[in-house]
Every structure is written in structure tokens, then in C-alpha cells.
Structure 1
Amino acid sequence: MAQQRQQFGSLALGDQVGIRIPGKIQTRIRRSARPDKPRRLLSPLVVFLITLSLGLLLTLLAFSSLSNSKENEIDLEEDGISRRNSTAFSKELKFGRGSGAVGRDSRYWDRDDRRRDQDYEENDVLVHPTERTEHKHDQELSKEEKERNGGGGGGGLYNEGGRAELETYKEEYENSLKMKNNEEEDEYDDDGIDAEDEVEEQERSKEEEESKKDAIFSVKEKVSSQVARNAGSSGSKGEKSLGSGKRTGSKRKPKHHKFSGSSCEMKFLNSTAQLVEPVENKKFSRFSLQYVEVEERPNESMDWEPKFAGHQTLQEREESFYARDQKINCGFVKGPKGSPSTGFDLAEDDVRYMKSCHIAVSSCIFGNSDHLRTPYSKLITKQSRKNVCFVMFMDEQTLQTLSSEGQKMDNMGYIGLWKIIVVKNLPYTDMRRVGKVPKFLAHRLFPSARYSIWLDSKLRLQRDPSLILEYFLWRKGYEYAISNHYDRHCVWEEVLQNKKLNKFNHSIIDQQFEFYQSDGLKRFDPSDPNKLLPSHVPEGSFIVRAHTPMSNLFSCLWFNEVERFTPRDQLSFAYTYLKLRKKNPKKTFHLNMFKDCERRSITKLYRHRAEDRRNLSTQAMR
């Protein structure tokens, strides 16, 4: 044994010898003793390092290939694709797999008016421009790229600290959402005056707070992304491409909304050049309609005061529903000689201007309720600019506020396309009710006009008026057009919604509703093949009218209901229409109730001015 140990000790260093199997020692010694072909076996450490190097090399090659593919897509910026900069300051949250419809920020769902419609751009300064281009680019990602990124996910190289930080912010944000008021908001109000809609303003303030949280989150995320990029050994371009704003973590559920906000495809004429206004349609009912101009004081009444709508008795109201030669109350009623004005006073020059209008597009802003939004001028033809009157009614307070914000009238009294007409001595203290005057009584304000288009001040017109008239009225022979409601179709539902959101005094709403039920109003049955309307609830922010006798009568009747009961005109629409049809079975009222998605195709929705901003503007004027 001693001899064997001595012989084994004489071997060269590095030779591998099996000491546990003596029978093979001599053979291995003899092989290693051959000086002409020495054989060295690699150690496990060397093998591991070689394998690791090969793995890293393959990883870098794959990473470089992916980076080149992403860089080629970025180079397509000249073709209209915006570059997604990973260092851009974005306020958009994308928990989960960010791009496309999965994991999108819920603000894209409930923005109205605003996202739904993708109409809302009010206070656009809260959104960095790179956010909108990034969102547009995300929608254009190919299916192959989404699969490469993990089903449209981010693939950003976050370290464990970054992942934990993202999870923390995600959990805080979801907890804040749980604290929100679950009360359903009436996102499309029925008119342009929303001074008492506290629910909407609370939602607006909460949305602004969320935007601030989004900004803080984006800064934190930028720091995490930068740390992750610095941790990589190479491929900086690839890291920038992969880390361009995608977030990891659990998916964030979007808010549930009542409708998708999509618009309809509408086949308008390509041009107004060959458009010819039709002659009066012979199928429209013909009768003479006159209006009460002056009311005398009753002898037996000592506390009688003149009213803008007059003092219509229930018997006079019942008789007014007959489509026949008659004289009815329809606003602008004056008291006896020597009585004070009943309101809605206009300058003589403005009255003469309105008498010259053949087609009128009108809106109103009272009580600083909205910003002024000019129709999209690129889509308004020269012919319409010449033949159509664009009239915006407002009070002096609103005009002063607009002037202080830089929107001033020119020498002709215009701001953009709008001819500004200032109304003095408002007939009601409720600004919502004041707004019903130009909304329903266009035939009184524009006595020579043959057609009119009304849009609430929260809407911006995005189609030529002549094409609108041709599409909604002339093409199929209608004399009145209004869209149905986007969600509710029965007056019973509308009553509950108005009371739920405290839109008006509950007792008065109940009185009005009970009165209508006693007079025969029934629940809407969508399955009824003989139903006269596709819905009993309109979305009344956009109305297209021909000033025919039947159309004018309906407008007067609807205004009188709003004046007698509540200014929530959606409650009285169906009752007024059905009663008019019932009273005149042989005289058809050709009303076109079109889909609300068509209204969203031709108008853009904005939010009303915030309540606190209205008050600040009012105080600044004092």
C-alpha cells in the first residue's frame, strides 16, 4: 500500500484518478503516463461558466432581434404612428396588460362626454398630449406584437422592488374606488342648464382628484422603470421599447356604464352644392295657429300678476290640444297696458335680425352654466354660413364672464359663428326653466324661419345644418326630429331617476306623474306592435324642426307642460305627444324619433361648467 501511495503521489497535478477502485488505478496511471497525448478533463466550474455564457449570448441575440422589431415600428412615425416614449409624462393608469381594451384606464370609459361618446375634452390640460397618442398607438398594435408581449402586456423589466411598489399603488387606487358613491349619474342631462346638478359636480371633483393621483403614480412608475433599465447589462434600446409605459400587476376592472358611447354610421349627402330645399309637403296638417299676446287682469282678482306664459286654465289647456284654427298660450304673454314686462326682453336690432332668418341654429347659456363652443367650422359650408343664422342666447352675466376669459364679441356682435343675443329681464329665477324658452319656442323667436335646429350648450355641432335637415326631415318627409334616450324608455323609469338624483322637488314630480296617469298615460311596452314611438323618453339636447302648424302646436303644448309642472321636459314629452295624437286621430304628426347614437355622430358632448367656477366667475363680475 505504501508503494502504491508513493507511485500515485508522483502523478502530474490535474490528472483525474479514481482512488476508490484500486483495480483500475494502474490502467488510468498508464494512460496518463503517455507523454505524447496528455488528456485533461474539464472541471464542473468551467463547464457551468461556458453554459452560462452561451445562455447569455442567446438571450442577448433574441433581445436584440426584439428591439430591432420594436424600433422599426417606431420609425413608422411618418406614416401617422406616434412614438411611444417611455419617459413621457403620462397620467394614464394601465394595471394589468395595458394596451387595447384590456386593462385600459377606466377614465376612458366614463369620460363622455365624454369618452363614451369620446366627447369629453373639458379641461384637457389635465391630460398630457403623449397620453392620447400612446392610447391611439396601443389600439393599432398588431395581433402578432400583442402575442409577443404576452397578450398585449407590458413586459417591462421591473425588479422585485418595482413590482411590490406597483402592487401597493394598485391596491391604494382600488381602495379609493370602493369609497366612491355608487349612485348612478344621469350622464346626459336633458338640457343645457345644469345649475342644480350637484351629483355631476361631485363626480367631476372626484375625477380631478383621481387625475392628480394618476400623475403621482406616473412619477413613481418612471422611477421604477428607470431602476429596472439601469439593472440591465445591455440592449438599452430594447429596454426602452419594452418599458414604454406598460404596467404589470392585476387587471383593473373598468366601470360599468349604461351604454358603449359608440356612434352610428350615417349616410349623409357628400355635398350641399346640389341640395334643393323641398316645397311644403302636402301631407302635413294645415290649420291657423295664433298666440295670446296680451292678458287682461280679471276683475275679481286683486293679487293677479302678469306671467310670461300667461294664466291658462285647465279648460283652455284641454282645448289647446286640438289641431285646428285657434289662439293659444305659447309664451311671450304681456300684461295689460302699464304692467311691468313679463321677461325675455331683446334689443330691437336683435329682433330684426331674427326676423330675417330662414334657417336658424340656436342654443343658450344662462347663469354661467357652460363655456361657449363654436360649431366645427371646417364642416360648415359657405352656403350654410350665408343662409343659416347661428344664434346664441345668453344673459349679461354670462357675456361678462366670457369676455373676461378672452371670448369677446366683434363689432358685429359675433363670437366665431355665433351671433350673440343678450336676454334681459329673465322670466324665471330657475335658469333651467329660462332655457326652455329658446329650446321650445324657436318659431316665436324666429317668426319667418322655416326650419330650426336646437342644441344644448353642452354640445358642439359637427355637421352642416343643411345636411342635417336633409337627413332627418326632408329625406323621409318628417316635420319634427328628436333622439330617444340612450338608456331609459319608460316615463316610470325617468320619474324614479329624477327623484333618485334629486333633479327637482319630489312632491311636484309626484303631482305631475299622478296627473298624467289619471289622464291615461300608460307604461311603455317595447313589444307592442302598435306603439306610436320607439321610446317614451327622449334625449332632448338636440332637436330638428320644420316650422309647420303641427310642429309649432306640439312645441307650444310641450312648453306649457314644462311651465305648469317641472322643467324636467323628459317627464312631459310622451304625455304631450300621445295626447296630441289622441285628440287628432285624423291629423298625423310626422315625428322622427331617431337613435341617440346618431345624435352622438353629429354633435360632441362636453361637461357643464363646474359649480364652483360658475360662482367664482359670478363673484368676479361683482
Structure 2
Amino acid sequence: MLPERRSTVVSSSSPYLNPSGQNDNTFLLLRRGKKFGGRIVKLKLSHVFLFFVSLFFFSCIFSGHRLLFHGNIGSEFLPHFEQNTYLKNHMFASDIDIGLNKSNIEKPPGSKKRNKHLPCEVALAESVDHILEPQGYLNFTRFSLGFVETETYDKPRFGGHQTLKERERSYSAIDQTVHCGFVKGTGFDLNEKDRAYMKNCVVSVSSCIFGSSDFLRRPASKKISDFSKRNVCFVMFVDEQTLSKIASEGHVPDKQGFVGLWKTVVVSNLPYTDMRKTGKVPKFLSHRLFPSSRYSIWIDSKMRLTTDPMLIIDFFLWRTKSEFAISNHYDRHCVWDEVIQNKRLNKYNHSAIDEQFMIYRSDGLKKFDPSDPNSPLPSYVPEGSFIVRAHTPMSNLFTCLWFNEVDRFTSRDQLSFAYTYLKLQRSNPDRPLRLNMFKDCERRALTKLFHHRVDSSAPSPPA
């Protein structure tokens, strides 16, 4: 017997047989089946092709390769330095190239994994009872330093109208009168009782909050000795807006203006619309605010002091025979990198940063070379949130000069620190400023760091 054929249905009585003996309808069905099967094969091949194309595309993205397209990319995606033709042709020539890889400049904020910065051990004295100011400690460079307090201009400025000639001369460590803020009638007005209190301070710890930009963080009282509580002034400068805000958060000053160890001092008639620039007044000019003080410590409002101030002065100034101490930045050490970061994060108007940077470079500012054993500083970028200083003539002059650079240019004081210090040292080779730049991990060991108050309606970078 023949095997049964199950692929087709054949009727011997059917009149419609093709030459092979099959029914025409069956033949048509087979042809349609083959055609449909071909479509399936083609469809599967297209899916496979699209799969491999997609796989290649995503592998390019995750491996960091760039796809090349014809045409120009919109200027809004280019870094600011590349958009500025003048900077490309003049400021970033090969001999003074900014030294950063292009891909690093274009990398968006947050794309690089943040390093975790930890505190390190600081060998402080066990107690304030075990420390004593070294004999003759304050016998540093001596000269008489006066300050410009009045001007005849129709519109006086808090920092004065310093000419370029006056600016150049002010870097000399000689008997002179310099611009150093507080021109009469220009702001930063204080209550007379507060002035009297501050005039009697011999050692001061100060901070400030303007425009409700931060929370009030009290020094850790248990970490502060009774001696420091009696002999150190803890002053927090605020404006009326901030005073009202912190009071609503439970920090209500007592009748003498104290909130814990902080003595709140209200500042009226703020000298700048930029709150960051206003904050540089107590930060740099503590010798003007505390005229009788021998030592001062500045602590940013984002930090809480957790160490006795006298132990800090002993460790950073007395033991090292320094008159000014500040930590290096935790991540950056070259001003070139700081410029890029400030512009990347829109910390200030880009054109103002460019102008300041161009002037500094034309006046001799060089890149920081970490391999240079003769480098005058371990870093050209400071972490300016914590400053310890003696009120010596050279220290006072340095902070006046640093403030004047902030007043003239941008409020980003990391940009002007190295230039000011190096120019001061260059102008006075026989009368150096004894500066101690310590490790950032030591700063973290002495304070507790917090984030600034988040303001969703923060203004755009100052123009």
C-alpha cells in the first residue's frame, strides 16, 4: 500500500487537476504558503538586523565613545571657553594652555563619582591648661598700617575707589594707609552696644548668615573649655531677615543677644546686594571688627565648631610659628581648575571670571606644579571656610589685599587667594607672611560639616 499523503487533499472525482495530478486550489494554497513564509523570514532577518544595530548603539553609549555626525553641534552644548573667540585665541594659547582635557570640560556636573573625604587625626593639646602663648610670638614683621575711611566721591563705595596705582603700592609691607573696606556712609552698620562688646574681645570666633542663607549651628558647648567660654568672643553676624528666620526655628536670642555661645550681632545697611560678597567682610576683616583682638578664627556657617578655639590657635599658629593658617582645598589645587569649576557650576558671571583670570595671568600667576619641591604653597586653592589668624601687621595687610581683590572682581575668593599671597611675597622678599596651609582632613576633624540651606528660588549668578 502506498503511504497516506497528509499534505494535500485529493479527490479523484475533481475535474480540476494540474499536470502533476494536484488540485489547482491546493497548488494555489501552497504558493500562498510559500509567499507568506518568505515574508516571515524577511521579517525575522530585519528584526535581527535592528537588534544588532541597537546593541552597537547602546554599547557606544555605555563605553563612552562618541558617534560622529555631519554638521555643527549647537553652541549651547560647548563649554564657555570654546564659545569665546578671544579666550581661544589669546588666553589659551599652547604655551599657557589651561591644561584640561576637553572631555573633562564638557563633562556635566555630577558625572564624576565623588571621592569621600574623611577627617584625620590632629594632635591637639589635652587641655587649655597645658598651652601657653610662646614668648615673643607676635614679633613678626612690624610696620604701621592705616585704613582709608572717607572719600570725596559722589557715590562712595564700601571698599573705596582704589586706583590701579594705589592697588600696586598697597602690596608693599611698609608704613602706609590702604583701602580695607568700611568707608564711612557705605554700610555694614552696627549697634553701638555691639561695637563696645566687640572692642573688648581679645580672641574672637566669628561667622555670619545673611539673607537667611543658612541654619544657625551652635558651637558644641561640651567641647569648649570654661576658660574659652569666659575669654573668647563667639560672634554671629546676621541681618534682620536672618534674625527673624532663626528665631522662628527656635533660636531666640536672650536679652543680651546670645543664642547659646553665639552673640548675635545684627548688621544693617548691607554694603553689597550679593550676599556672598557681604559675607567676605567679617571673613577677611576681623581685625577691623575686633580692633583689640590678638587672634581670630573664622568658621563658615555651614560648619559647627567642635573643638576648643584655644587648642586650635595653639596647634595651627603657636606650634608652627605662623601668623595665618588656612586649609588646602579637598579636591582642587590649581587656579586653572578652579576657574573651570566655577564656570561649570555657574558660580559667578563668566565674563567677570574671565576678566579676573586674564589679569592675574598677565601679572605672573602660573599653574600649580605639585611636583615642584620649591613651590611656595602646597596648594594654590584654599578651602576658605576655616581660617585661623593672628592680628599681626602682615596678616592684616594680606586680608585687606585679599578683600580688595574680592571687592574689585568676583566674590569667589578661591580665585584670588594664590595671586594675592604670591604677589605679596614677591613684593616683600625679606618680609614674608608666615602662612600655614594645613590639610583639609584636619579641618574636618575640628568641625562638623553640613549642607547650606537649600533655596529653590536662589538668584542667578551675579553679573
**TM-score > 0.5, shorter chain as reference:** yes
Q: Partner residue of 1:434?
A: 278
Q: Partner residue of 1:456?
A: 300
Larger Rg: 1
CA 1:472/1:464 → structure 2, altered by over 3 Å: closer, same or farther? same
Q: Distance in 2 between matches of 1:414 and 1:407?
A: 9
Deviations 1:85-119 (A, max 9, x none): xxxxxxxxxxxxxxxxxxxxxxxxxxxxxxxxxxx
1:259 equivalent in alignment to 2:115:
yes
- Letter of the 1:271 counterpart: S
Alpha-carbon distance, 1:476 to partner: 1.6
- Letter of the 1:501 counterpart: L
Alpha-carbon distance, 1:405 to partner: 1.7
Q: Partner residue of 1:478?
A: 322
- Letter of the 2:166 counterpart: E
1:275 equivalent in alignment to 2:119:
no
1:329 equivalent in alignment to 2:185:
no
Report SS of the residue matched to 1:421: strand
Deviations 1:361-400 (A, max 9, x none): 0000000111100001111000000000000000000001
- Would you say the 8 A contact 1:258–1:487 is kept in 2? no
Show the 5 A alignment for 1:361-440: 361-440=205-284
- Give 2:430's match in structure 1, choosing from 567, 579, 586: 586
Show the 5 A alignment for 1:43-82: none
- Letter of the 1:285 counterpart: T
Q: Distance in 1 between matches of 2:331 and 2:346?
A: 18
- Letter of the 1:264 counterpart: C
Alpha-carbon distance, 1:283 to partner: 5.3
- Give 2:169's match in structure 1, choosing from 296, 319, 333: 319
- Letter of the 2:121 counterpart: E
- Would you say the 8 A contact 1:367–1:431 is kept in 2? yes
Report SS of the residue matched to 1:572: helix
- Letter of the 1:318 counterpart: E
Alpha-carbon distance, 1:443 to partner: 0.3
CA 1:446/1:268 → structure 2, altered by over 3 Å: closer, same or farther? same
Structure 2: unaligned runs, 5 residues or longer: 1-108
- Would you say the 8 A contact 1:309–1:563 is kept in 2? yes
Show the 5 A alignment for 1:176-191: none
Q: Distance in 2 between matches of 1:350 and 1:278?
A: 31
Report SS of the residue matched to 1:454: strand
Q: Partner residue of 1:494?
A: 338
Q: Partner residue of 2:350?
A: 506
Report SS of the residue matched to 1:273: helix
- Would you say the 8 A contact 1:259–1:486 is kept in 2? no
Q: Partner residue of 2:195?
A: 351
Q: Distance in 2 between matches of 1:499 and 1:411?
A: 45
Q: Partner residue of 2:156?
A: 306
Q: Distance in 1 between matches of 2:187 and 2:165?
A: 26
Deviations 1:237-285 (A, max 9, x none): xxxxxxxxxxxxxxxxxx9644332111111111111322234426511
- Would you say the 8 A contact 1:360–1:452 is kept in 2? yes
Q: Distance in 1 between matches of 2:197 and 2:318?
A: 26
- Letter of the 1:278 counterpart: P
CA 1:369/1:282 → structure 2, altered by over 3 Å: closer, same or farther? closer
Q: Partner residue of 1:577?
A: 421
Show the 5 A alignment for 1:184-263: 257-263=113-119
Alpha-carbon distance, 1:614 to partner: 8.4
Q: Distance in 2 between matches of 1:325 and 1:613?
A: 47
Q: Distance in 1 between matches of 2:135 and 2:179?
A: 29
- Would you say the 8 A contact 2:219–2:306 is kept in 1? yes
1:294 equivalent in alignment to 2:150:
yes
- Would you say the 8 A contact 2:138–2:392 is kept in 1? no
Alpha-carbon distance, 1:295 to partner: 1.1
- Letter of the 1:542 counterpart: F
Report SS of the residue matched to 2:244: helix
Report % sequence identity. 64
CA 1:612/1:256 → structure 2, altered by over 3 Å: closer, same or farther? closer
Alpha-carbon distance, 1:333 to partner: 0.9
Q: Partner residue of 1:128?
A: none
Q: Partner residue of 2:6?
A: none
Report SS of the residue matched to 1:363: strand
Q: Distance in 1 between matches of 2:437 and 2:192?
A: 36
CA 1:450/1:280 → structure 2, altered by over 3 Å: closer, same or farther? farther
Alpha-carbon distance, 1:525 to partner: 0.6
Alpha-carbon distance, 1:612 to partner: 3.6
Q: Partner residue of 1:151?
A: none
Q: Partner residue of 1:564?
A: 408
Deviations 1:119-168 (A, max 9, x none): xxxxxxxxxxxxxxxxxxxxxxxxxxxxxxxxxxxxxxxxxxxxxxxxxx
- Would you say the 8 A contact 1:284–1:588 is kept in 2? no
- Would you say the 8 A contact 2:137–2:318 is kept in 1? no
- Give 1:284's match in structure 2, choosing from 122, 131, 140: 140
Deviations 1:499-521 (A, max 9, x none): 00010000010000000010011
- Would you say the 8 A contact 1:494–1:537 is kept in 2? yes
- Letter of the 1:446 counterpart: F
